[in-house]
Amino acid sequence: MANLPLAALSIAVFVYLPPYFAGHLGVGMGLVGAAWGFVRMIDIPVDVGLALMMDRTRTGLGRYRPWMVAGAPILMLALYKLFMAPHGFGAAYLIGWLLVMYLGNCIVYLSMSAWGATLATLYHERSRLFGAITALGVVGALAVLLIPILGQTFHRTNAQSVQAMGWFIIALVPLTVGLAALRTPERVNPDVERKGAALADYLALLVKPDLIRLFLAQMALTLGPGWMSAIYLFFFTSARGFSVQQASILLAVYILAGLPGALGTAALARRIGKHRTLMVTTTAFSLGLFAILAIPNDRNLLAALPVMLWSGSMASGFGLMVQAMLADVGDEVRLTQGKERTSLLYALNALASKIAAAFSILLTFPLLEKLGFNPAEGAVNSAAALNNLTIAFIGGPILFVMLGGACVIGWRLDATRHGEIRGALDERDARLRAAEALS
């Protein structure tokens, strides 16, 4: 359930909030891009520190449940300050509240991901579980997208719709986190008692080939769609002539396609394996993205629908497969090190997302400014500026998504190998729990 507001937040914050700041509140594009990039880079140590504390937590309420509950109010406060920001605010205000937002988001995300990895222990179970989590995220993203789509019907301005998005997510956070905390079981895996091995274990993780490959894949697969998200509204409204409402409808179609896409990706992974499925979806996404060039700039929604459906269904499998593969690596790490490192693994992988997300705005906004694109409401851009916008919108994502798929070529942690790991883990856990019961 917690993925509902997180997915809604990703759409509102990355697609709508930067243009809202730059176009309505009078904040320069350079400042917006620099602030996002700066924040995503300086909060990197926070993820690792939180993960280390999470993996060492053992309470009567569980290991990850208390953290998820604690992260909710932090996230809610930051969202209020960002979506209700005053006109013409400065860099300190933006950087400060972005930091608080990412702190709350990180706590909820890491606890949710690590908790989910402990709920499903079998290779194919994880494809189904993370497929369901992704599907819930689609629902949350679609729900928040309805706000700007319906906004014009009720004579709401674009700025009012963005603010309404903020209120919607703020209300969704305590509801979904509360339901997850009250109704989801949590099993705390036992640790093997070892002394003096922590530092060596952590260093071993940093050079573990499988984790490096997933780190690079996550970075590329975040930067590709993130690049698109950062300039999505600019492209569809300025280069293709759609209204904000029409662009929001197309984005809703893109996200809606993620629902069958996530379920289809999970099903395909059960047949051909997770890493092969990731390579298939990244290649299919990149080939389909070229079709955006065929979309006429005459506000023809029907002509754009097939492209958005195809791209959305393929993109939904990126994070799903990486998350499920990371859970498998987590089992392997716990078998060899004897300690729970799941939160740390997801934190390390989240670093890749943060770095990529930082660069998606840090690179695209200043780049468009250098290329002569003016994002101000009512601005008239030259044909050259619009052509540059189109090339940037398509070229960047294709390059990075294909690199992401290439990172898992030759992946060896398949269903057979994972079955062996789980068998050894289950046997050892049974012995440890029996020993705890006798002590």
| DSSP, residue by residue, 189-214 | PPPP--SS-HHHHHHHHHT-HHHHHH
> Which 8-state DSSP code applies to residue 339?
S
d(CA 100, CA 290): 38
Structure tokens at 77: 């406060």
Tell me the mean pLDDT in the region 415-438.
87
- Choosing among 1.10.260.40, 3.30.365.10, 1.20.1250.20, 3.90.420.10, the CATH entry for 3-185+201-438 is 1.20.1250.20
3-state secondary structure of 295: coil
Residue 400: closest CA among 247, 253, 231, 220: 220
- The count of other CB atoms within 10 Å of the CB of residue 161 is 21
Residue 196 has pLDDT above 70, yes or no: no
> Could you give the angle at which helices 158-183 and 123-151 cross, rounded to 10 degrees?
150
d(CA 413, CA 301): 43
d(CA 233, CA 324): 31
Residue 180: closest CA among 134, 112, 230: 112
AA letter at 82: L
DSSP secondary structure string, 103-152?
HHHHHHHHHHHHHHHHH--SHHHHHHHHHHHHHHHHHHHHHHHHHHHHHT
d(CA 408, CA 404): 8
pLDDT band for 232, please (50, 70, 90 cuts). confident
Structure tokens at 73: 């109010």
d(CA 172, CA 352): 27
* Mean of all residue pLDDT scores within the chain: 84
> pLDDT digit string (tens) for 171-194?
999 999 998 888 888 777 777 765
E-assigned strand segments in 128-201 = none
Structure tokens at 401: 């998504």
C-beta separation of 275 from 408 below 8 A: yes
Look at 142-156, 185-199, 391-405, 412-426 and tell me which has the smallest mean pLDDT.
185-199
Which pLDDT value is given to residue 123? 75
Cross-strand pairs, 62? 59
d(CA 207, CA 198): 15
Structure tokens at 386: 């619009």
Tell me the mean pLDDT in the region 222-244.
85
d(CA 250, CA 36): 25
Backbone φ and ψ for 352, nearest 5 degrees, come out as -60, -40
3-state secondary structure of 380: coil
Structure tokens at 36: 């996002």
Q: Hunting for tokens 């909030």 — which residue is that? A: 17
Which pLDDT value is given to residue 283? 95
Burial class (CB in 10 A: 0-12, 13-18, 19+), 160: middle
C-beta separation of 331 from 425 below 8 A: yes
pLDDT band for 374, please (50, 70, 90 cuts). confident
DSSP secondary structure string, 46-57?
HHHHHHHHHHH-
d(CA 178, CA 180): 5
pLDDT band for 406, please (50, 70, 90 cuts). very high
If you average pLDDT over each of 157-171, 235-249, 342-356, which comes out highest?
Answer: 157-171
d(CA 133, CA 317): 12
Burial class (CB in 10 A: 0-12, 13-18, 19+), 44: middle
Q: What is the pTM of this model?
A: 0.73
